Chain A
Amino acid sequence: MPAWLEDLYWTYQNVVTALGVNGLLALSMYVVLAAGQLSLGQAAFMGLGAYSSALMTLWFGWPFWLVLPAACAAPVAFALAVGGPTLRLSGVYLAIATIGLGEVLRAVYLNVDALGGALGLSGIPEQASPLLIFSVLGVALAVLWLVGRSGAGRAMEALREDATAAQSMGIDVRRVRLVVLVASAVLAGLAGALSAHATDFIGPNDFGFEPAVTILSFALLGGIGSPFAPVLGAWVLTLLPELLRGFADLRLVLDGVVIVLAVLFLPRGLLSWRMPRRAA
C-alpha cells in the first residue's frame, strides 16, 4: 500500500468499515422488501450475530474463519423461531412485531451481566479487515443478482406485486417468506460479526430501534429495483454525515432534508432501474 493510501485508510478506517457493513445491512433489508415483507428485524439479527460472534472469540478463542459462518447460527435460529408466528402478518403489523422482538433482545443485552450489560462487550480483536468485509459484500451482491435472475427472483417479485395471484401460480408463499427472512438473518448476522470484529466494541444500543430504521432508510433511499440500489443508498447515507461535517450542528438537519427530498422526488429510489428477471 502506498504511504498516502495508508494515511487515508487510517484516517477513515471507521468510514471504510461502515461502508461495507452498512452495504450488507442494506442487502439484508433488500431481500425481505424484494419479496414484499416489511420486516424490521435486521438490527436484531445483526445484534445476535455481533454478540454471538464476540462471545465465540472472547470466551472460546475460536479462529475468525470459524466464527464468521457460526455467527449466522443465532440469527437464523431466531428467524426460524419467529418466522412461524410472524409470517402470518404483513405490512405494518409485521413491522411492529419485528420491532418489538428487537427491543426484547436489546433488553436482554442490557440486563444480562455476562453480556456486559449497558457497558457492552469490549476488547474484541480486530480481525475483520476491510478486504474481508468488502469480499463478503461482493459475494452477497453476486448471489442476490444471480438468484434475482431466476425463477426464485420472479417468485419474490410476484409475491411483492400480488401475493394472491402468486399463490395461484403455484408459488408457496409461506416458504418464500421464510426463506427470505432466513437470508436476511444470514446477511445481517454476517454484518454483525464483521462489525464487532472491526470496531472492538459492541453495546446494546447499536442494535435497537434507531439502527433498525436507519437500515430501512438505506433501502428507501437507494431503491429495491436491483440489489445494487440499496447498497448505493447505504453508501450515500454513510458518507453524507462525513461530507456534511463542516456544517457542525446543522448536520443531522441536512441529513434529514436529503432523505425527505429523495422520498418526495425519487419515490423509487436513487437507482430506480429494475433488474431483468431472466437468466442471461
Chain B
Amino acid sequence: MTLLATRGLTRRYAGLVAVDGVDLAVPDGGVHAVIGPNGAGKTTLFNLLSGLVAPSAGGIRFGGADITLLPADRRARLGIARTFQNIRVFGAMTLLENVLTGLHPLLTSSVVGIVARLPRFRREEANAVVRARGALALVGLVDREGERAAALSYGDQRRLEIARAVAGSPRLLLLDEPAAGMNPAETAALGTLIRRIVASGTTVLLVEHDMRFVMDLSDSVTVLNFGRCIFAGPPALARADPAVIEAYLGAKVAARLAAG
C-alpha cells in the first residue's frame, strides 16, 4: 500500500525549477531514501511534503487523502513529522518541554480547563509527559530531561529533534540529513535508532549524503538530479544505474567507467 504519493510535484523559483514534475511513491512501512547531488531539490521536496513550501504545480496524497493545500500544522496532525537539515530545537526550553511540544496535537483542553486545572487537563498533561519520556528514552536522553536544549552537543540536538518528531507516533517521519556531521560510531547508532523507529510502525523517508548509510538502511531509493526524478527502485540497482552514476560523477567519468 502506498502511504505517500506525489504526482507531477513542481516548485519553481525565479529562474530555477527546484523540483520538476516529481512522481514519488512511498510505500507504508520501511525506510526510503531520497538521494542526489547538492542542489538536486531534496530539501525543497521535503519542504513541499511537510507543507512549509507550497507547490507551483502537482499534488500530494497521504494515506489516500489529498493534502496538497493543507498547511504544515494540519499535515503534522495527520501524522507527518520531520526533522531539519539545520537543527531547529527550541534552545531555551528543556529537553522534556521540547518533546512535549511535539505532542501538542494530543492536548485538547480549553483555556477554562487549563486555568481550572480540570481532571481532563491533568490527565492529558500526565499522559504527554509519560510519552515524552518514552521518546527521550528511545534516543538515550531521558536522564537529561531538565537541561536546556541549547546546552546539548550537536549530535545530541539531532537526537532530541528525532525524539520530538517521533513522540506523537507519526505515520511518516521525514529525516533531512540525519547523519550530517556525525562520526562513524554516531552514524551506526543512528542506523539502529531508525530501525527501531521503523519497527514501531513509522515509515521513514530520509534525505542523506552518506551513501553507505543509505545503502545499508533503505528499502528503496529515489534519485533526484536538477529537480527531476532519474531513478526509483532498490538501492543495489541505483548503484549500477548509468543515469545515477552520471549525475554524481559527470558524463565523462561515467563513460570511462562504462568503457571499463
Contacts and interface: CB of A to CB of B under 8 A. Distances in A.
Contacts of B107: 150-151
Contacts of A277: 93-94, 97, 100
B121 A150 contact: yes
Contact of B82 (A143, A162, A168): A168
Given A150-B109, A169-B104, A161 B73 contact: no
Nearest to B167: A169
Interface stretch (A53-61, A170-178, A238-246): A170-178
Interface string B99-138: 0111111010101001101000110110011000000000
A164 interface: yes
B76 A151 contact: no
B164 interface: yes
B7 interface: no
Contacts of B94: 277
A216 interface: no
Contacts of B93: 154, 157-158, 161, 277
Contacts of B88: 162, 164-165
A154 B100 contact: yes
B181 interface: no
Interface string B3-34: 00000000000000000000000000000000
A143 B115 CA distance: 6
Contact of B84 (A143, A147, A154, A165): A165
Interface in B81-97: 81-82, 84, 88-94, 96-97
A152 B108 CA distance: 10
B144 interface: no
A151 B125 contact: yes
A147 B111 contact: yes
B41 to A, nearest CB: 19
B71 interface: yes
B50 interface: yes
Contacts of A278: 96-97, 100, 125, 129
B72 interface: yes
Interface string A133-167: 00000000011001100111011011001101111
B52 interface: yes
Q: Is the interface of B mostly helix, strand, loop or mixed?
A: helix
Nearest to A144: B115
A157 B90 contact: yes
Interface in B62-88: 71-73, 76-77, 81-82, 84, 88
Interface in B45-72: 50, 52, 71-72
Nearest to A151: B107
Nearest to A172: B73
B114 A146 contact: yes
A264 interface: no
A154 B104 contact: yes
Nearest to A165: B88
A279 interface: yes
A155 B122 CA distance: 17
Nearest to A152: B114
Interface in B172-220: none
Contacts of B103: 151
Given A154-B93, A274-B92, A168 B72 contact: yes
A173 B104 CA distance: 12
Contacts of B122: 279
B73 A173 contact: yes
A168 B49 CA distance: 11
A150 B104 CA distance: 10
Given A146-B117, A169-B164, A151 B73 contact: no
Given A151-B107, A277-B97, A278-B97, A165 B90 contact: yes
Given A151-B100, A161-B91, A169-B101, 9 more contacts: A157-B92, A161-B93, A165-B89, A167-B52, A168-B73, A168-B76, A170-B168, A171-B73, A279-B121
Interface of B: 50, 52, 71-73, 76-77, 81-82, 84, 88-94, 96-97, 100-105, 107, 109, 111, 114-115, 117, 121-122, 124-125, 128-129, 164, 168
Query: Which 9 A-B residue pairings sit nearest by Cβ, starting from the closest?
Result: A170-B76, A151-B107, A165-B88, A170-B105, A161-B90, A279-B125, A167-B72, A150-B114, A277-B97
Interface of A: 142-143, 146-147, 150-152, 154-155, 157-158, 161-162, 164-173, 274, 277-279
12 contacts: A146-B114, A146-B117, A150-B107, A150-B109, A150-B121, A151-B125, A162-B90, A167-B71, A170-B73, A277-B93, A277-B94, A277-B100
